[in-house]
Structure 1
Amino acid sequence: MFAVPPSPLWPGGVVVTAGAVALAVTVQAGLAGSRHALAGSVVLWVLVALHVAFALLMTGRHGGRRWPAGVQACLTYLPLPFLGATWTPVCGLLSGALFMTACRTRSPLLAAQAVACGPVLLWAPAGTAHPGWAIAAPVLGLVECALVGLAARAHRLTGVRDEAIGRAVALERRRFTRDLHDLVGHRLAVLVLKAQLVQRLVDERDDKAGLEVAETLDLLRALAADVRAVAHGGRRSSLEEELASARALLESVGVRCRVRASCRDLTGEVGEALTHALREGVTNILRHANARHCAIDVAERDGRVHLSMRSDGARPPRRDGDGTAGLGPGPGQGLANLTERVALVGGRLEVNPSRGGEFAFTVHVPRADDDAVTGH
């Protein structure tokens, strides 16, 4: 299992909390021995708790409300005449809260108020404010706002990254499933057919049994290579080789096959899509039809490549034991995968319904600029 990295909000929250507590401890030490020590301590820690909660809420997607900043302003300036210069450091917390609100709402007015949290102390009665905090307060608030903003942004980027990873995993899983069906399913269908042929030849003591066994072993080796290619995503097919293989395979099982191809040497994604279309058509003929004739045409017209397959002997859809549609000439997972593959290269798939036992489908794809088209 993969370890889940901690959310970036945790270090941001720890830094904000630690900074607020450190400032509160400094103020608490200054309050010791004064006649308002108890009341000042209560207000101080309520103010710190309110500020930390507000800062953590501001890191969320929708942010916090503005009223805590108003309450914090009252708790900052109202005790100032009673607690004196010892209380002035808490102005830095108010400045930070106003800066965070200003960044969230994009308000120049709130930003100006955040900056003014320090200089306003210069107009306080003598002895009630420390003049150094006139500059230190907005600086402290700006630093806190920057830290909280970085933590919030890192948190959002983490969410975006997780979503991107999830989409990539889903796409890879879909690719693996599609390739497994299109490549391995085709090989398995041919292997079943070859095994049945070998069994019949063995029963008839035909000398061709050894040749069929050798071809079956070649198919098994090809199947193993396909599985490795699917696992590593490195499968690349040749349309010209697939046309020759389809014709030889169909004629070996007694299907008269006519192939007309005015363009064969198609490379890249277009050739890959057409190769899968051809393979899916052959698989449908082997599994869902008792064909005697098949016609395959590949042509280019108006900058688009068209591949069509027609065969007879299509069987009507059968029903499984639970009443659902079974294997037949209608669209299934293979045609659904093919539709997806063709759409990825800007093409479309047309499936003609069975009429009089004939099944046909046509693939139309735009020819890529880097595809070399050679007439034969």
Structure 2
Amino acid sequence: MSALFTRTQVGPIPLKHRVVMAPLTRARTAMPGGTPDDLVVEYYRQRASEGGLIISEAVAISASGCGWYGAPGLYNEAQSPGWQQVTNAVHAKGGRIFAQLWHAGRASHVDILGDQPVSASVDPGYWQNDKITIQTGEGWKRPSPHRSLKLNEIDDILQDYVSAAELAKRAGFDGVELHGANGYLPDQFLQDGSNRRTDVYGGSIENRTRFFIEATEALASVFGGDRVGARIAPASTRNRMSESDPRGLFDHLATKLNAFGLAYLHVIEPALADLRGGECHVTSRYLRSVFKGAIIAAGGFSPETALQIVQRHGADLVAFGRLFISNPDLPERMRDGHPLAPCDSETFFTPGPKGYTDYPNFVTPTNA
């Protein structure tokens, strides 16, 4: 594991190891309002480590951009103090934390928004798909029918990114990440399976990357490009995503993002069961030849496959999700070779501390 425990940096931020806590929606913020409370603060405090990086759960940039009941926001002054407590707790342990800024687009429900979800274009097949569900205050439901954004509304959303970044900066975050993956709004503009626009935001790859680039520019206007990250999922079909030329699209996007001098590019890999043979398709490997900054790889890695992707496949850091849920001291366990605890999927999105803040750190057994 030694390669995962060498110093690196994202933008100007020095890190003491390469084990990143991935963004994880846990639906524990106080509702209504989407404000972190003491339970959320404790959750992040437990998982902070000296010189380690945490990327927060998805944080809505507006009330109309939320896609999950119980998800937090950063779109009004009342939400900022709770996040200030989170960043203070992480910094007190020597950690760093980026806020993942999120607009769900069509991946939402009228019960959450009080209005119709929006997207790059209208796709009835999305809300008619019985395999896609949204967590509302009344349980899991299919997405509501969405509508296409008007040009002036796109401008308003870009301003929402600026405002959310300003609140994040005041709350003490070290940087922000644009959530451009998993079929959320920036991804809906990127991929031609969901973007059928005929204006400057649709058609060519250049046009379809426009919203993503403008959203990145909005965040960089507040933090500077070197404290902004971007998350993408070139191989994902989540939320009915599809693209006819993924290599061309994401190569073009990564090239355009180089102009910002980003802190990192956060790449969700396909599920990788085995990297030992070196024959798997690894997105980080081909993006490494295009993107000039740090690359964080995510995608259900074990400690062993994480080591392989850093040593042989182009990633600089590796983000872990589920392993951080049940192992709040994950970097230390990996470094010292201690066993990893399994997580309970039944408590991923349930209220309260069970399955959230009650997983213990590893304790070395004492001899009887």
- Report TM bin, short chain: under 0.3
In terms of fraction of residues, the more helix-rich structure is 1
Structure number with higher relative contact order (C-alpha < 8 Å, ≥ 6 residues apart): 2
Q: If the length of structure 2 is used for normalisation, what is the TM-score?
A: 0.22
In terms of fraction of residues, the more strand-rich structure is 2
Q: If the length of structure 1 is used for normalisation, what is the TM-score?
A: 0.21
